[in-house]
Structure 1
Amino acid sequence: MRKSSGKARKRGHKGSRAITGIFPKTPIGALIRETALEPATALLDARVAQYTARLLTLPDTHPTAQILPVTLRYGDLHAQPGEQPLDDREWASRDNKVPNRLSQRLAKHLAQRLSRDPSGGIERTKQCELKGFPGSIRVLDNEEALTEANQQRPGMTFWSDGSRLDTGRAGAGVALQAVPGGPWEHVEVPMGHGHEVFDAELMGVATALEWALERQPLGPIWVFLDAQNAIDRLRSTRPAPGQALVLRAHRAVEKLAMRDQLVTIQWVPGHSGVVGNEQTDQAAKRAASKPTAPGFEQLQYLNGLSIFRIAYNELKL
């Protein structure tokens, strides 16, 4: 690592002098400022963080995925005695000592750049039977969607939403008005740091469907939300970000179908004055501001956006 950074630094200095035509003995600080190039060590560290994050996106069956320690891949928060190797946690030490083993070195390099404690593990996708959504999904044009959202309909209607504050905390909210003109009921799910709005939107849908199972209403079930990317993700159980929440939602829909209750997921334009959408928007924001609920220790799936952020943040250090 040190040899690589030294070589990269020399190449960077040589390139900077070639760009500017500056004298060989010009101080390095002035040279870097003049060329506006990132320091070579920062570029190398960003590449290492990016490579390590990509390893975590590979399926467990991929041989390269096994390079990283099991304690980073799955976490050790709920591990039982003897379940994980005892010498697998060198990466978690808080000192600046560089581990000798490549696996531990890569894990420590990434862990130091994550926004939260990875002891709960990192969300993994799994190979499963590819299934479409077991209910109905409706995405109408803006005007028609608003008209339908404001209409009364048979059965029970839930409204879901997700939110991520500037602090990085996320949360999901669900709103329900069981009787027209009656009081609004809410479920708020604080998710803490390490989640995107996309995760919170899917959490809102899964929570709404599970709430419908718990309440045992009569007639069809409707879930309205304003996130078309989350709605599109619900269409398939393919391995990708959000798979775990999609599987939860599908299981709930299948159980409702066993009661002969049809489930419809429908898009509603956000911030358009629809009361249900406004109710759940506020519920999601309140949830995001609260302490994390039990069960959200796990970091979200490291998708392309997460990998980019890790590498970008490395360049800013």
Structure 2
Amino acid sequence: MADFTARPRRSVLYMPGSNARALEKAKEIPADALILDLEDAVAPDAKEEARQQVCDAVKAGGYGKREIAIRVNALDTAWGKDDIAAAVAAGPDAILVPKINTPDDVTLAESQMAAAGAPETMQLWCMIETPLAMLNIKEIAAKTETSLRMNVWVMGTNDIAKELRCQHTPERMPMMTSLGLAMLAARAYGLVILDGVYNDIKDEDGFFAMCEQGRDLGMDGKTLIHPSQVGPCNKVFSPDEETVAFSRKVIEAFDQPENQGKGVLKVDGKMVEILHAEIARRVVNVADQIAELEKANG
């Protein structure tokens, strides 16, 4: 089975499923992935129309190498089950399910996808956005031991703030426990984890700073609400040229026959260990995949 974690997801842009113009515009936006949204961005009386519109757009294609996920409504709503059936038939790369609170929610989502005929290659992405999810986070993550689909978590920071009754501060200290717990569980079980959105579209400096914070925390990328956020986000979550160049030197040094079995080497005057070589290989792999993706999407 393919390794779904080994691809760039620096920028993951939500697009409202009820807006046909936005769905078309998304084909030209340099985001690594798109979430075509049937949930929060769609009013109740527009849910069925949006479902049809999104599914038609996915079937029609034209999104290049961008990864496509459809966010359905929660499984316990009137639309959830029908959303999954229609989304599976449309054939996106992933189904994003909100309000994953327990391991049983993962099981239910997977069973509904299977019942709708989803191929094994169709991924399950999970919104992690409630206090209950944080209390069950290890058990949810441990579903990777049996799950064939779950590979990406999306942090729902707006919902976390709502449920905790906390504030969106620049440092995000009120929700740092939630982010940290999710990060620990994701890394322990090999999951991709994406940071939540930044709501103030006009605050470019604040957005850039929060992208840097997410990157420094270890997030694989960030979810976005406006096309203007894609460029800065891609920049922050891409390894810089100097880091990539040094990483290549580290890999080359450890690959030299005379260095086989050595645990520590000096590269450009810096002492590097085997663990640094592992980090370097990941950096180079990410950089190469970013270059390939950007070339494919023009």
Normalised by the size of structure 1, how large is the TM-score?
0.22
Higher strand share: 2
- Pick 1 or 2: higher relative contact order, CA cutoff 8 A, min separation 6: 1
Q: Give the number of the structure whose alpha-carbon radius of gyration is greater.
A: 1
Per the normalisation by structure 2, the TM-score is 0.22
The structure that is helix-richer by fraction is 2
